[in-house]
Amino acid sequence: MGVDYYNILKVHRNASEDDLRKAYRRLAMIWHPDKNPGAKKHEAEAKFKQISEAYDVLSDPQKRQIYDLYGEEALKSGQVPPPPRSGPHHFRTQPHPNPSFRFNPRDADDIYADVFGGSSSESNGRARGTRDGFFRSTTNVGGDFSGTTTGTRPGSTSRKAPPVENELQCSLEDLYKGAKKKMKISRTVLDASGTLRSVEEILTIEIKPGWKKGTKITFVEKGNQEPGVIPADLIFVVDEKPHAVFVRDGNDLVISREISLLEALAGKTLEVTTLDGRNLSIPLTEVVKPGYEVVVPNEGMPISKEPRRKGNLRIKIDVRYPARLSEAQKSELRRVLAGT
């Protein structure tokens, strides 16, 4: 069989797609040339290419089928070896399982970018948002995701289905403290024999503190598989549920409070419960006018790119005036406020 791709990735011959991805990720993190400068760089480059080729072959149902049946040489040459003799002078002919197939290896860096994620949205999440892992609560969302139109991957003759976007509802508490959401999906996959079958899978999304509405989390090629088509990417787009108390304004949190005219003139201490359950006491020591705003630094939303910082808490004050005053009250007010 030549090169043993299963041994290179250290997986069993019945390894699943997830098994292959995990094995590739573990080995690629060890042997990526950028992590092996100096004397080991040439060895790392060779190992990295070998690991990438093994993953490329075994993660592609067509390539894997041909490799499993006939080995590396047949995979790369396109020539199926003849079967054993059926008689003294004759060979039986055996057709190639996919006569139009041509081995077209993908670039190692392209594979690495696809698996670890090569781009991000907003301050984005993992999966395609960062290099450190796939994204991955309690909310279960079922769905059957598929793609249909074109799009191509560098170095591939297959078209790629367009990305499929799905809304991810998050509470303001989720986006303040962080959370994990498990998303249940159903999709079709090609097994090693090229047969389509339906599978269910749980995707775990780790919501990072400070994410905003519109943040996108991409799961690469988690859409439906079909012959000749690269599966669509699944993209979850964060949406923010309305909150009963707070309104988000960028990195700031805004609340509105009403106080009486007496409190506006004589002072008051406001009590605010934060999104993580802390109680803040905020004294009003100045005369409060309608439209007055109190700013409490560093008590707003976490800033996703700067975890140690937060926006501001802004408290908008509305003054409640009495509906009516007696003549005695008016007279007393004139006396007290005469010098102002």
**pLDDT tens readout for residues 86-99:** 444 444 445 555 55
pLDDT in tens, 119-166: 333 333 334 433 233 333 223 333 333 333 334 444 444 688 888 899
Domain count of the fold of the chain: 3
What integer pLDDT is reported at residue 190 of this predicted model?
Answer: 78
- 237 shares a domain with 160: yes
- 313 shares a domain with 275: yes
- pLDDT band at residue 336, thresholds of 50, 70 and 90? confident
| SS3 at position 256 | strand
- 277 shares a domain with 207: no
Q: Among 203, 222, 242, where does a domain finish?
A: 242
- pLDDT band at residue 242, thresholds of 50, 70 and 90? very high
- 304 shares a domain with 251: yes
What integer pLDDT is reported at residue 9 of this predicted model?
Answer: 92
> Does the CA dihedral 103-109-114-119 come out positive or negative?
negative
The pTM score is: 0.52
Q: Lowest-confidence range among 126-135, 228-237, 302-311?
A: 126-135
Helices assigned H by DSSP within 141-282? 172-177, 261-266
Running DSSP on this structure, what letter comes out for residue 288?
A: P
Q: Round the average pLDDT of the chain to a whole number and report it.
A: 80
What integer pLDDT is reported at residue 270 of this predicted model?
Answer: 94
Whether the CB-CB separation of 140 and 216 falls below 8 Å is answered with no
- 191 shares a domain with 82: no
What integer pLDDT is reported at residue 153 of this predicted model?
Answer: 44
Q: Among 211, 242, 273, where does a domain finish?
A: 242
Q: Among 242, 260, 279, where does a domain finish?
A: 242
- 199 shares a domain with 276: no
- 262 shares a domain with 196: no
As a whole number, mean pLDDT of residues 207-233 equals: 88
Q: Which residues span the domain enclosing 264?
A: 247-337
Q: Lowest-confidence range among 71-75, 283-287, 293-297?
A: 71-75
CATH number at residue 214: 2.60.260.20
What integer pLDDT is reported at residue 105 of this predicted model?
Answer: 80
Residue 115 pLDDT greater than 90, yes or no: no
What integer pLDDT is reported at residue 340 of this predicted model?
Answer: 63
Beta bridge mates, 203: 183
